[in-house]
Amino acid sequence: MAHLEKILVYPIKSLDGTAVESAAIVENGGLEWDRRYAIVDSSGEYVTGKREQVIHRLQAEFDLEQEVVTVGEYDGDGKRHTSVDRRTFHLKDDRDALASWLTAFFDRPVELVRDDEGGFPDDEDASGPTVIGTTTLEAVASWYEGIDAAELRRRLRPNLEVGDVPAFWEDRLYDRPGRVVPFEIGSASLRGVNPCQRCVVPTRHPDTGEPTPGFRETFVDRRRATLPPWAHETQFDHYFRLMVNTRVPESTWGESIAVGDPVMIESPESA
């Protein structure tokens, strides 16, 4: 039976994720702790992997119970750096000190901003958690030599991973444009909107930022060739799309989801 296999949140936008056993759905439909913080530059622009290749070398490990992050740098081979500059900060109490450390890392002034009511989602129109099947990660990783499902997960950065489903099962979670697919995770109700448009980030090694030759071209060719019959091709203006964006009805805000919860798909409806 389809069930929630893994929950991942990314407490600081564009930095490493961390797995949790359960998560509350907050205002805006996002997950508690997901993109709660963001790094912004002096002009107020997000500092993200789309604009800053060096951000891939920034290592972050979170202890959400203690509300701390340990930051460091990956070396040029993608291995964890053992520099004495590896530091631990309380995300609330040490926010200014963390911003100073990040300023030194990026070699330009940055700030760390916070939003507890929905965070800083990548897609403000479909601001719910992103969804993908575990078998999909395994299938797509097999398209590449030297990339496994764990690395692909870090490249794609999903929130919710569904187990005990066939590859590309998540393509059932959207319909033609203008319609959504309701589905339930435990007692929480979500709406699948569309297949997620990928940016440059998945084409790079997650620890070094180095581009993987031919990543996008291979992806587009194989995605087109393996698109399942239940996928609505009208959603594909191009084939560099994978994972599903969602919205969460306001009636579900405050509900919690947990690893092991069953996942049930309902009939499509008008958006």
Mean pLDDT of 251-262: 97
pTM for this model (two decimals): 0.95
Q: What does the alpha-carbon distance between residue 82 and residue 86 come to, in Å, rounded to a whole number? A: 7
Edge-to-edge strands, sheet with 68-73: 58-63, 68-73, 87-90
Distance of CA 43 to the CA centre of its chain: 25
Element (H, E) at 182: strand 179-185
More confident residue, 117 or 229: 229
Task: Report the pLDDT value the prediction gives residue 117, as an integer from 0 to 100.
Answer: 84
For position 82, what pLDDT does the model report?
47
Question: Would you state the pLDDT for residue 186?
Answer: 97
Q: How far is CA 112 from the centre of its chain?
A: 19
Is the model more confident about 162 or about 74?
Answer: 162
Cα dihedral value 162, 171, 201, 158, nearest 10: -20
Q: How many CB atoms lie within 10 A of CB 246?
A: 27
Residue in the block written with tokens 């990660």: 137
Per-residue pLDDT for 77 more than 80? no
User: Can you tell me the distance from the alpha carbon of 181 to that of 133, in angstroms, rounded to the nearest whole number?
Assistant: 16
C-alpha triplet 69, 257, 46: angle, nearest 5°: 40
Check residue 199 and give its pLDDT: 96
Phi-psi category of residue 234: left, alpha or beta, with phi > 0 → left and psi -120 to 50 → alpha = alpha
The DSSP bridge partners found for residue 229 are none
| Chain centre to alpha carbon of residue 161 | 10
Q: What is the pLDDT of residues 195-224, one digit of tens each?
A: 999 999 999 999 999 999 999 999 999 999
Mean pLDDT in residue range 234-255? 97
Q: What pLDDT was estimated at residue 84?
A: 42
Q: Under 8 Å CB-to-CB from 92, ≥6 apart: which residues?
A: 67, 114
Supply the mean pLDDT for the chain.
95
Q: What percent of the chain has pLDDT over 70?
A: 96
> How does DSSP classify residue 171?
G
Q: Is the separation of the CB atoms in 10 and 16 below 8 Å?
A: yes
For 185-208, the DSSP string reads ETTEEEEEEEEEEP-SGGGB-TTT
> Which residue ranges form the domains of the chain, and what is each CATH number?
3-7+22-30+124-270 (2.40.33), 37-114 (no CATH)
What is the reported pLDDT for 78? 47
